[in-house]
Amino acid sequence: MIIRIMGEGQFEVSDAHLDELNRLDDALGEAIDADDDTVFRTALEALLGEVRRVGAPVADDVLVDSDLVLPFAEAHVDEVRELLTDEGLIPAEPPVK
């Protein structure tokens, strides 16, 4: 799947990493629900860091649609709250192509 981090670029991430990304996404959702900015910031950095770690950057000159879009690292908790769905930022199942 292709994951875009806003303001940074796209990463190709294997579906095999979905469970870990969902775990980190759940932690982010809990931090948002608790309205704890410190925990939120740590959780967001962990999620974005994992995408960077396991993903392969997509070249800037390659045009491909993103399956998922994640907020930029400096996003405010309210901005991220607006992006959430019932499943968080990352769905439990890989997007269907």
Residues 41-84: tens digit of each pLDDT: 999 999 999 999 999 999 989 989 999 999 999 998 888 888 77
* pLDDT computed for residue 52 by the predictor: 98
Residue 70 to residue 22: CA distance in whole angstroms = 13
pTM of the model: 0.86
Strand duo 56-57 + 9-12: pairing: antiparallel
* pLDDT computed for residue 84 by the predictor: 73
Tokens of 58: 């997509």
Residues 7-17: tens digit of each pLDDT: 999 999 999 99
